[in-house]
Structure 1
């Protein structure tokens, strides 16, 4: 299945998502834990767009997976039912087995939430493992330099 969303020339993957009633609390505002789902979809679809599929990694002779090791989230504004949001995913230089990922969720020009994610590549036993060279080469052209700011919108 093809990836949802796409990378722009600025190396940001953008995935549109709509807020459904099931994403909200009793007040019609997106429940805070749902943002983690939106961020996860952004990471998964960006990897798929690069050609890295979770199902293929798990089925390999030497199975691999990604696990979130650390995530810092800042909630800036509320999203509401029926909003159309865009999950933006940006890769930073890899550090050993760790992927450094910046994400934000936007509604038009407004940032709703932002996250700094450290994911780790793990083997079938759950131990951290440096991603294979072929995988690192696939995402190399999508990585923004460590000291670069988010490209302007």
Structure 2
């Protein structure tokens, strides 16, 4: 979504450049939206877990205040995750060719163009982004695994299992 306007402009024009500020802005919003999406998917999995496994306590656990706090926390984490990569990338020195063979500004191609030491940037990219990606993925898998185990052993009803899995299937495929 963030890269689409510039990509469409590049398809229609001969002059296919982007300013450094535009590149860093694109990088920031790409990381912000992707990390926020990953964490929101984990929260949605938790919501499905509570709705299926603890239906009588659902309104108590997932009240308006908790939902608002989770959403705000996710947006703050996503913003600081993106800010970390944007600031660390903008502090690098670039020399020589500044031609990126990519459709959009991503961290890896930018690090390849940098003249100085990029070890810290690469470490942050792998550790922080890996945590942001694998944490929600693991929580999502754990939630759905627990839902399946709960339904299989507690209800022993094929219709309940089918209903719950059909509710979660579209989210799990994402």
TM-score by length of 2: 0.28
Q: Which has the higher contact order (CA 8 A, sep 6+)?
A: 2
TM-score by length of 1: 0.31
Greater percentage in strand: 1
